[in-house]
Structure formats: C-alpha cells, structure tokens
Structure 1
Amino acid sequence: MEKVEKFLKMSDGQELFVACYEPTNLLRGHIHILHGMAEHCGRYDTYAKQLADMGYFVSMHDHRGHGQTSDRNGKLGFFAEHKGFERVVRDVFEVTQLIRKNRDLPPMILFGHSMGSFIARRYVQLFSTTIKALILCGTGAGTRLHEIGNRVANILAQTKGKNIPSELMDKLSFGSFNKSVLNPSTMFDWLSRDPQEVQKYIDDPKCGFIGTHQFFADVTYGISLISKKEEMARVRHDLPVLLISGSEDPVGDYGVGVFKVAEQLTEAGLENVCVYLFEGMRHEILNETNKEQVYEVIKRWLKHEQRL
C-alpha cells in the first residue's frame, strides 16, 4: 500500500489537502471518504489502510475550514463568505474528478461520516450518476430545529461577524449530546465508548474546535436543503445506499433519525436502501471498541454491491 499526500487547486483558486491510498494487490474499487465536522481526514487513516489492503483505491480530503486545508487557506470552522455548503459540495466533485483524471479507476463509491454524510447526500442530489454507491455513516434527519438554527446563525453572522466562533450555536448543537452517557468523563464521550479514542480527539489541535457563526449557518442550511422532498427526488433511483450508525448516536436521534432518512430516500424512489444499526455504539462507529464489526458489515455490503 502506497500513501500519497498533496494539495489540489479548486476552481476558485483555493487548495484542498488530499490523501490517496494505492493498493498493491488487485484493484477492486475506488472509495472517497468525507470526514465530519471539527475533525479531519487523517482520523480515517486506519480504516483507509484496511480498505487498501482489501484492494480499494482510497482517497479523501480535508474540507474547507478543516485540517491541513485550513492551514493552507482559510481558518478553522469557516467554509466561505457566501454559499459555503454549496462550495464544499462542489469541492467533492472537483477533487474526485482531479484524482480520477488520467487514471484507470473503477466507478467511485462515496463514504460520508456525520457532516460528511450531509455533504454526500447533497452530492448525490446533484451528481448521483458519477458514483456507483453511497455509504452514509452517522447521519441524521433534518428537523424544524435546523431551520430555526439557521435563522439564529444567520442573525449572529450578520450582527456579530461571520468569522467569529459561535459558542451559542455550538452549545445548541452539541450541548445535550452527552445526556445519554452514564457518568461521562469528558464532554466528548458521546463520540465513542473507547476512552483512548475520545482522548485522541481531545488532544488533536485540529479537532473539537468551535465553528463560526457563518459555518453553522451554512451547515444548518445544508441539512434543511437535503431534507426537501424535491431535492431527494433528484437522486437516481437505482443508486445503492447503505446507512450505518450506532444505536446510541445522538446525531441520528438514537436510530430514529437514521431510519427516517432511509424512509425518505425510499419514498423518493430509491430501490436499494439498507440500514444497519450497531447496538450500543455511539457516534464514531469506526472508532468504537468493536469497530471490526463495522468493518465487516461494510465489507460484506461492498462485496454484495459489486456482484450487482
């Protein structure tokens, strides 16, 4: 397995950090990973290597306002001055097209975790013909609260400043996520039952930061947008979709929101939607105490879809 890291320039001139994993054995497919909020693609290194060992070419990038992309241009927790959610979705298209340019790669499978799953859901509403399958990890359903949050975030951006970290929106978004954890040791215990993984997150200077007012305005706008029936109807009906989540994940409303998304996709006409809820797991199922179980479920699903 060979790992290559580089920066790719987008159509607006900004450069995004990209990591690619080249398998040494038979090439089975191409998987592109979209990381979540207040983290970076480097946290998926272990799983990317697992996939590469299985024969998959794996690529991933740091979104704007995250990871090494924020070091090159911009700041942590800020997408763009205008239409930030649309811009990060467009980035996925441009990054993957550049990665695949002049390469003989199989059709792409898109994997999105948490915020990355929201970006992935918008991507397939716009570009579903460019991928073979979709995996949504730790996703959730849009609610009336996201619409209210969007109005609050926009007011804060206009009155307090777009680039200012939004402690209020951060508290409104994540303040209750530890409520189901018995005797939590940290404010991030809702991420995983593995205390070592939680501590890694806490110790990482590129994780756990507070997003800006404009960032929360962009994210809440995006969640509301992708939840509209007319937008869901834009996804091609034969796209295979796997939704995976922990039963104790507050982002997916402890499973309720995950099944709601699956139901919405089915009602929109999608013919192949599968849900797998992992009992007892929290938000970051790839970093859970029994993460090998998650690896195996994804592996089986990938093998099944490749036979279709």
Structure 2
Amino acid sequence: MSTPPQPPQQPEQPSEAPAQPSAYPYPNPQSPAPGGPLGFPPAAPATQAGQPSVYAQPTLVGQPAQPQPVNPYLQQGPYPVVGPPPASGGGGAGKAVLWAAVGAVLASAAWAAGVFLIGAEDDPDLRGYSAPSNLCNSTDYSSFKEEYPDNDSSPTHNKLQDDALDESLCSISLKKSTSSYADAYLYSQLDLHKKTDPGPEFSAAWKNYADSHSGYDVEAITGIGDEAYLVSDDTTSGSSSGSLYATLAVRDGWVTYTMSYSAYYSSYDEDTDPPTLEEVTGYLKTDTRTTLEDLRG
C-alpha cells in the first residue's frame, strides 16, 4: 500500500507565534496529524465476499479424488452441504453422477445468492460532487478578502484518487496588504467516500470533538449539507496576543468537506483589529455554501 499524501507545509511562522493545536480528524495546516490521509488512521481496504466455490462433490468411479476448497457459505449458509453417496448399495457410479448433478445445481443457487448479496450493497451517495485536481481554484474565500486583500500567489494543493476515496486538499496563506508574512491560514479539504458511508464516523468525530480536545467548543450548524459542526478555539486577548482557530465540517451524503481558519494575533499591528470568532464563523458559513454549490455543479 502506498503512503498517502500529506498536506503541504505552510510558510514558516514567526518565532513568537504559539503552536497551533492539532485537530482530529482533519489536521491543521501548521501541524498535520500523523497516520493516514487528513489525520485519519490508514483506511483498511474494502473487501467483498467472493463468488462461492462449487460444493464438495463425490469421487466418481475410476477417477482420482480431487481436493475441494473450503467454502464458508456451504457451512453456514441456508443450503445443506452435499456429501458423498452411501458406501453400500448398488449402482455406486450412477449415484455418484446423480450426487454430482445435485451439487452443481446447489452450487449455482449459492452463486446466485452471492451475486445478489454483493449487488445489494449501497451505491455511494456522492450527490453529483467531483474532486478537482486543484481545489484552490474551486475554494471560494471571498468573504475573507476584505480582511485579507493580498492574494496568495502560490497556494498549495494536492489530490488523491483511488477506488475507495477521492480527496482534494488546498492551503492558502491569508495576508493583509501591509504585512510582510501571512497573518492567517485557510485550509480546505474535500473527500468523496466511494466505498463506505462516512456518516457514523463523521458524527462521532466532530460532535464529540470537545470530549477529547480540551479548550475547544463544538456547535451543530443547520442548513448546510446533511449535518455540519463548527469546532473552535479562541485564546485571543485584545488585538495582539493569542490565537483563533475555527473549522466548519460538513457532510453531504457520502461527501465530506472542511474549511479551517487559523490566525496568530501576534502578527497583527496594535492599531489593527483582527476579525472576531463571530465574524470568522460567518465567513466560513458563507464561503462553504458557495464552494459546495460550485463543486456539486
């Protein structure tokens, strides 16, 4: 299994900037979590039950015995195991042929049952979304541009494409026109889950985030996707100290999307008022809605 791509590294922060807390299941731009893509443990490959093999059949007269594969469907399924004919009694060869025919019929029935079970698996509910090769070109962050008018000339992006998962990543440096380095960062991520429904794990991870991460607040957000959560950590004090972190995580069918904002207020001038958590939350909601509409296009 190849090593999944890691989120791109960000420009170096000033030495006095506090370390940004790590967010599970999605990493912050500054300190990506270890493990699989986006901080998740590496996903186990999806498996499916294969086509049942032919039932154990008796040995015909004059034919050497052939080993038969073990079939769990024969031992546990609704069909009886077909055994060899009785050792005594006349017509051994004819009975062997009869048993072989019965075994073949039951094997065909078991194969049909296996195909039915496999075909009954849910199709991925992707809602028309597609994962672009460059998510930065599809991430709307116009709400942040009044605060950060200087465009990032080289945002970083990455793409993973697999039978089980399509994943697009984007990291953008937010900069005020008077700043010499980035004042904040915006990180977006889109996942198209093509084999498994992410709903239960998504809810468990984000709804209960504060239970395993001290200092974070979690708020359920309505009106965006099937479910959405705002996770935030605000340690600011005044306009020149502390940090502000906020992530809006959305699930729409089998598609998940996150937009994360992080800022270090030590990078702001004392005469400049940085955005508040309430303002950042409004930016995230507005731009996430627009981005998802464009990606669903």
Q: Same fold (TM over 0.5)?
A: no
TM-score under structure 2 length normalisation: 0.26
Give 1 or 2 for the bigger CA radius of gyration: 2
